[in-house]
Structure 1
Amino acid sequence: MQYLPHLFENNRAWVEKMTTQDPGFFRRLADIQSPKYLWIGCSDSRVPANQITGLQPGEVFVHRNVANAVIHTDLNCLSVIQFAVDVLAVNHIIVCGHYGCGGVKAALTGERLGLIDNWLRHVQDVRDKHSHLLAPTMDMAARWERLCELNIIEQVRHVTQTTIVRDAWNRGRNLIIHGWIYRLSDGKLRDLCVSVEGSDGVEPAYSNGLRGLC
């Protein structure tokens, strides 16, 4: 007995559609991948990188985890960044979070979810660092949105602090790091204006991003 037959049927329909539109699509895809973008996003099923950016398979290299965190001891994330930068030679790293992130809400409220609480401690660190931007006078929805934004800004900074990115910049690589946020209610992306393309631009971009939230 085949489980989940509708997914296999969806796959067959997708293959037929793609080969009708472009008979050589899968042959080219099998030969090589040459994405220009690394996407570091949230695991949330409502935020699929390819669909919301209109990119095809092979055009974006993707890493996702709960709350789009970039942690310096996370060898999974670091390995993805290293492969994307040094092997695939991407030109852009996009850290993209989203409003309505459940992980960020749990970090904001201190809600206990289990093992993942240890992972979300990193987002709580962002909350504590920027407590002055999360005033108790703000309503819960506003504080939640603000922490989603702050978390992205901090994760962009974490990407720029990796030896992988620093070494690439020192070699003269054209590599730009971006921070975006996605709104589930309208499907639109927003640039948080923290893009940075060299070591000298890290702190100005970080400060600019924080000013944009004030």
Structure 2
Amino acid sequence: MVRWFNRRAGVNDEQKRPEGRDLTDLLAHNVRWAEGKRENDPDYFKRLSALQRPEYLWIGCSDSRVPANVITGLEPGEVFVHRNVANLVHRGDINLLSVLEFAVETLEVRHIIVCGHYGCGGVQSAMDGHRHGIIDHWLQPVRDVAESAKDHLEEIADPEDRMNRLCELSIEAQVESLRRTPIIKSAWQRGKEIYIHGWVYGLEDGLLRDLQCDAAP
């Protein structure tokens, strides 16, 4: 049982805790994780807290099944991460642009990876013909890609294969959008060696695939 304070009524109400994993489980897992790190490397957190200098900026999908550190085998501090629905690069997105500028100018990353995944719910929602709310505006770039590649996509008979191909094409389009941002253009003009890559992740096999759509100075 958990006690909640009803401010409007000015009384305490007892209710059952919502079903599902208790948040204290997460805190307990954190304690075990931190203790394990210290046992294996006593200076781990001291070293981690002293400096953040990752080589990679990861622009990925918000999907909870695609955690950048886990699927690349990288430790905390080794990859700077920005995630949004369908891993899109809106050139008016102040959040993304702030992350990009900080990664390029302060962290001085060398590689920017745009990573989407097959079976992306955002890509599917962009193309299912239904209204979903404000997310419809966010997903417009996916529909733009689909329209520009309409003939190519219609040649793919299997609906799942067609949607996965659209996921790939959208990733390639985001690489191109990144390449055209003033932040990247300015960095390249000043001689910074920054390379942009497009990858796609397979939920069914856990593998990353390089789409060979790199952009370089």
Normalising by structure 2, what TM-score? 0.88
- Corresponding residue to 1:163 among 179, 182, 205: 182
2:142 maps to which of 107, 123, 135:
123
Give the structure 2 partner of residue 196 of structure 1: 215
Residue of structure 2 aligned with 1:183, choices 191, 202, 205: 202
The equivalent of 1:29 in structure 2 is: 48
1:8 counterpart residue number:
27
Q: 1:166 to 1:137 in 2, by over 3 A?
A: closer
How far apart are residue 136 of structure 1 and its match?
A: 6.1
Shift of 1:132: 1.6
- Cα distance between partner residues in 1 of 2:176 and 2:121: 22
Whichever residue aligns with residue 114 of structure 1, its letter is G
How much does 1:137 deviate? 5.4
Q: What is the aligned counterpart of 2:94 among 64, 70, 75?
A: 75
- Residue of 100, 109, 113 corresponding to 1:94: 113
Q: Paired residue for 1:209?
A: none
After TM superposition, what 4+ stretches of structure 1 lie above 6 angstroms from structure 2? none
Partner of 1:202: none
2:193 counterpart (174, 177, 184): 174
Instruction: State the match for 2:157 in structure 1.
Output: 138
Larger Rg: 1 or 2? 2
Aligned pair in 2 of structure 1 residues 139, 111: CA closer, same or farther (>3 Å)? farther
Alpha-carbon separation, structure 2, partners of 1:60 and 1:157: 21
For residues 36-70 of structure 1, give each alpha carbon's deviation from its aligned partner in whole angstroms, at most 9, with x where no partner exists: 00000000000000000000000000000000000
Structure 1 position 121, deviation (Å): 1.3
**What secondary structure sits across from 2:139 in the alignment?**
helix
* Cα distance in 2, alignment partners of residues 56 and 80 from structure 1: 19
Write the distance in 1 (CA, Å) between the matches of 2:127 and 2:152: 12
How far is the alpha carbon of 1:123 from its aligned partner? 1.0
SS class of match (1:177): strand
Q: CA RMSD in A?
A: 1.4
Residues in 1 aligned to 2:189 and 2:95: alpha-carbon distance in whole angstroms: 24
- Structure 1 CA distance for aligned equivalents of residues 191 and 156 of structure 2: 46
When the two structures are aligned, how many residues end up with a matched partner?
198
Q: Deviations over 1:67-123 (max 9, x none)?
A: 000011101001100000000000000000000100001112223222211111121
8 Å CA contact 2:80, 2:103 repeated in 1: yes
Judge which range, 182-191 or 121-130, deviates more: 121-130
**Offset of 1:192 from its aligned partner?**
0.1
Q: Which runs of 5+ in 2 are unaligned?
A: 3-16
TM-score, structure 1 normalization: 0.89
Return closer, same or farther for 1:115/1:31 CA change in 2, 3 Å cut-off: same
SS at match of 1:180: strand
CA distance in 2, matches of 1:67, 1:110: 17
Structure 1: unaligned runs, 5 residues or longer = 199-214
In 2 relative to 1, CA 187–137 (structure 1 residues): closer, same or farther, beyond 3 Å?
closer
Deviations 1:177-212 (A, max 9, x none): 0000000000000000011211xxxxxxxxxxxxxx
Partner SS for 1:134: helix
